[in-house]
Chains A and B, each alone.
Chain A
Amino acid sequence: MSKIVELINVFALLSLLAVGGGTAVLPEMEHVTVERCHWVSDTQFAEIYSLGQLAPGPNMTCVALIGYEVSGVAGLLAVLVAFFFPACLLCYFASKVWDAAEGSPWRDAVQRGMAPIVIGLMLAGCYALGKTASYNPAKDWDVNLLTLGIGAAVAVILSLTRINPALTILAGGAAGFFLLG
């Protein structure tokens, strides 16, 4: 039971700190769930995040799987509610206030001021995932070369084409199967 309470505490706070979207809390989530609470390994964290890219809907629903790893189905449900409910409730009331602030020049200041913070957080998220999923010192150099290559290839392909990102994730899995298997 105490595990459930801990899960709810961690994910409810993350929910409210997710400025600029879910990926902004990735680095903090990785640090808390992997290094502080030891709920999942760093490899598991990266894999769970990538499973979220393969499911439709908001890709951060994958955080439920961290709850599942910790306390089974009860943990899964607890994390889902804790990660989505507080931010939705805040949004419900804050959007009323925001409507009232229509035309205030400070709205623009908030948006332009928060933008670089969100980008800094997203870059930290890239680093938090990449330090195991792209370059893992515990693995051989040829494996690391391949994972770095897959990531670079996906980034380039997505920049140049309008292909569905989920397909590039599947292609990465296929590349892993045929080149590492």
Chain B
Amino acid sequence: MSDATPRVSLAKLFSVFALIGVTSFGGGIVAYLRRALVDKEKWLDEDGFMAALEIAQTLPGLNSTNMSVIVGRKLRGPAGALVATLGMILPGAVIVTALGFGYVALRHDPKVAVVLTGVAAAAVGLLVQVTLKIGWKQLIRPQDLIFVVVVFVLVGIFHVSLLVTLIAVAPLAIWVHRPCREKEAA
């Protein structure tokens, strides 16, 4: 992250994140964030962006809201984090609420029901595609595939609580990838 962090007003911070929040249809918010923060506003350089993204992806929570927290904090401290996150969430929340009111009122209409059936079927296709796209490396590497399968079976099939699964599996998975001193020395 560059030392000369630009001075950004809270209003500007909110409007930039709200613009992303209202235009980023169809997921892939990271691409929108990159375009706005690095290319357009130049609040972060490429390395700074990748460093922030790395943290956002590793910590729990949504990548998009974590990015808002991290970038907002870098630029304007706690108030910046709050304002950027609200900007990111609010537009989508308002629109999804409007969709939801329509959904609750109309979902028993048989014409709407068949549309929803098609929409939900398509959403599964989208999720499968995203999973394969970001996960193909893990799916072809045996030492990773074991963890993929174990987690899928525990959570997906046997409904073991996610907390228990993470506590049981995560330390082992991290240990497999532990830093190897011998290799570094060699």
Q: Interface of A with B (CB < 8 Å)?
A: 13-23, 25-28, 31, 35, 43-44, 46-62, 64-65, 68-69, 76, 80, 84, 87-88, 90-92, 94-95, 98-99, 105-130, 132-134, 143, 146-148, 150-155, 158-159, 164-177, 179-181
Contact for B126 among A48, A127, A158, CB less than 8 A? A158
Cβ contact within 8 Å between B118 and A122: no
Contacts A22-B62, A88-B81, A90-B60: A168 and B114 contacting too (C-beta < 8 A)? no
Interface residues of B in 14-67 (CB under 8 A from A): 20-29, 54-66
Contacts A55-B92, A55-B95, A68-B100: A113 and B173 contacting too (C-beta < 8 A)? yes
Q: Collect the chain A residues with CB atoms within 8 Å of residue B175's CB.
A: 109, 113
Contact for A57 among B24, B61, B117, CB less than 8 A? B24
Q: Interface of B with A (CB < 8 Å)?
A: 20-29, 54-66, 68-70, 73, 78, 81, 85, 88-89, 91-93, 95-97, 99-100, 103-104, 107, 110-111, 114-135, 137-139, 144-152, 155-157, 159, 161-163, 166, 169-170, 173-179
Cα separation A48 to B103 with both chains bound (whole Å): 9
Cβ contact within 8 Å between B177 and A112: yes
Cα separation A25 to B62 with both chains bound (whole Å): 10
Q: Collect the chain B residues with CB atoms within 8 Å of residue A17's CB.
A: 60, 162-163, 166
Cβ contact within 8 Å between B119 and A54: yes
Contact for B170 among A21, A92, A117, A169, CB less than 8 A? A117
Q: Collect the chain B residues with CB atoms within 8 Å of residue A23's CB.
A: 127, 130-131
Cβ contact within 8 Å between B104 and A121: no
Cβ of B127 to closest chain A Cβ, rounded Å: 5
Could you say which of B26, B57, B64, B134 has the most chain A C-beta atoms within 10 Å of its C-beta? B26
Q: Collect the chain A residues with CB atoms within 8 Å of residue B159's CB.
A: 31, 35
Cβ contact within 8 Å between B27 and A53: yes
Cα separation A85 to B152 with both chains bound (whole Å): 27
Cβ contact within 8 Å between A176 and B115: yes
Cβ contact within 8 Å between A46 and B114: no
Cβ of A75 to closest chain B Cβ, rounded Å: 11
The residue on A at minimum CB distance from B25 is A166
Cβ contact within 8 Å between B60 and A18: yes
Cβ contact within 8 Å between A119 and B99: no
Cα separation A88 to B55 with both chains bound (whole Å): 12
